[in-house]
Structure 1
Amino acid sequence: MIKYMFLLFISLLLFVSCNDSSNVKEKVNNPEAMALDTYKPGFGEFMTNVQIHHAKLWFAGKYQNWALADFELNEISETIDAIKKYQQERPETKVLSILNPAMDSVRVSIRQQDQKLFVKSFTDLTNTCNACHQSVKFGFNVVKIPDTPPFSNQDFSVKQKAAR
């Protein structure tokens, strides 16, 4: 009998604790609250994404694949926008605008399809990344112009007109 009472008590406790749907109703009526409870990439994950596109941007420009270079620069911009949206509380986010002039210069070099200007502006972008890292006490994270492509299964030499 005591065993059955204990099982009944546990079952009732589980039922009551699982039956509180007030928080769920609040979230259903508030999509922003639901979004906050979903997975949100960390700052480092966003930066790793930037790093990949930074490397791919270099090889696209090196091989004068301007359509791909334009695409990769836009991927970096989109990731920075996502950082501003999802990591706005981080102090590092507040200094990201330091990248704008360097990214604008890279964009000009791509539009002009000027490889010499691309090399200079990409170098400036890379140096700006490192200056940003220094300013937020992440100077140990040094970015450089890549030596090898990040992926062995991508041909950076294929050239097509930019679709934009």
Structure 2
Amino acid sequence: MPETQSTRNVSVIQDVNGNSIVMINDIRFKGKRSVNWDEVKTYIEEFVGDNYIIADTSDMVYIGSDLPDEYTGSEYTESLRGANAKAKANASQGIPELLHIAKGKYFRENKTNKHIRNAKFGWYRYDSRFALPVYGDNNEVERYNVFHASMLIRHANDGKMYLYDIIDIKKETSNPLG
């Protein structure tokens, strides 16, 4: 039986400084060579129609039908290789929690005609963090790598805010969780 959203193994913990981290405890999207973005897209489609509250600002963020395509086919995603590609693919499992713990709301006006219809009222970015397990030779978790990500939100014509993509994924070298 395929894994669904309801069988996600995701939790939120606090680091030593009291900052939230989304713990994604299963590596759902793995492979030696590259990510199967079609599988990731199918998984994200399960979230379409859902909405989540960002705790820090009380903003409601919706998951629109454009997210699966943008998340898996954006220029940013296509530029990813190796560990960062796998991190983005697996971060999809924690979308609700990544939105919930997001902080640092930052507004940017829409500057391209390409998005005049779907981001009429501009863009917001929020910072979020997640951790993925690193497995040793014996298939036991050795540690967790922590990543920073920017949640890109579009403010649409209908006045609602929609998750558009997760970008700028960077491993935090100073923070592996043991």
State the TM bucket, normalised to the shorter chain: under 0.3
The structure where helix makes up a greater share of residues is 1
User: Which TM-score applies when normalising by structure 1?
Assistant: 0.28
User: Which TM-score applies when normalising by structure 2?
Assistant: 0.26
Q: Which has the larger radius of gyration?
A: 1
Structure with the bigger RCO (C-alpha within 8 Å, sep 6+) is 1
The structure where strand makes up a greater share of residues is 2
